Amino acid sequence: MFTGIVEELGEIVTREDLADAARFTVRGPLVTSDAAHGESIAVNGVCLTVVDVVDGDSFTADVMQETLNRSSLGRLAAGSRVNLERAAALGSRLGGHLVQGHVDGTGTVISRAPSENWTVVRISLPDTVSRYVVEKGSITVDGVSLTVSGLGGEPGGEWFEISLIPTTLSLTTLGTAEPGSVVNLEVDVIAKYVERLQNAGR
């Protein structure tokens, strides 16, 4: 479980493509400082398992083909910047919202509208997840816990907006995500459970 509060802006060091998976080496001195085999680290919002710690500042993780297909991790290459967060610890502050690290779909950055104190980013909203997104609700974009500041569009072409403060712009990949960039989306898990319960027995 994660909170969507990015701890570190890391970098893909190497990518090794295997028959039905890929092995990434990810540099992130902070998140690697207390990492061990089997622990979880979110990479752009995707929960990955640490396989090995390398040189004290990097870790390796295996990503199965399904994850490569269903998330933006399939587009990563050596040199790509990534958002990193260690799993939440019991008793720590929940600064964002409950994030599982299970991507529900991907969206594409449509536009950026900078202003003096923040930047509004518009992102396409897939039909498969649009029903879970509400204005002023929570959504995770590339592992960053954010508030939906606007919704619009028509079925098949819906979008949502997020308003990014300078801290988010400087400390996460969203600061450089230009129109056309593909981002990972995870909706609030509570919404999915409520829908499941409502449909039970129908």
Alpha-carbon radius of gyration of the chain: 17
Q: What is each CA distance from 25 to 90, 126, 144, in whole angstroms? A: 28, 30, 21
Q: Is the pLDDT of residue 39 over 80?
A: yes
- Tokens matching residue 45: 């919002």
Q: Express each pLDDT in 89-106 by its tens digit.
A: 877 777 778 888 999 999
Q: Are strands 46-54 and 40-43 parallel, antiparallel or unpaired?
A: antiparallel
pLDDT score, position 202: 64
Expressed in angstroms, the distance from the first to the final Cα of the chain is: 31
- Tokens matching residue 99: 């994030």
| Single-letter amino acid code for the residue at 87 | A
List the chain domain ranges.
8-86, 105-199
Q: Is the pLDDT of residue 156 over 90?
A: no
The yes-or-no answer to whether 8-86 and 105-199 have a common fold is yes
- Cα–Cα distance between 187 and 185 in angstroms, integer? 7
What CATH class is the domain 105-199? mainly beta
Q: What average pLDDT does the segment 14-25 reach?
A: 96
Q: What average pLDDT does the segment 37-41 reach?
A: 96
Q: Quick one: 167 exposed, middle or buried, by C-beta within 10 A (0-12, 13-18, 19+)? A: exposed
Q: Express each pLDDT in 103-122 by its tens digit.
A: 999 999 999 999 888 999 99
In the numeric block, the tokens 């290459």 are attached to: 77
CB-CB neighbours of 201 under 10 Å: 5
- Cα–Cα distance between 12 and 29 in angstroms, integer? 13
What CATH class is the domain 8-86? mainly beta
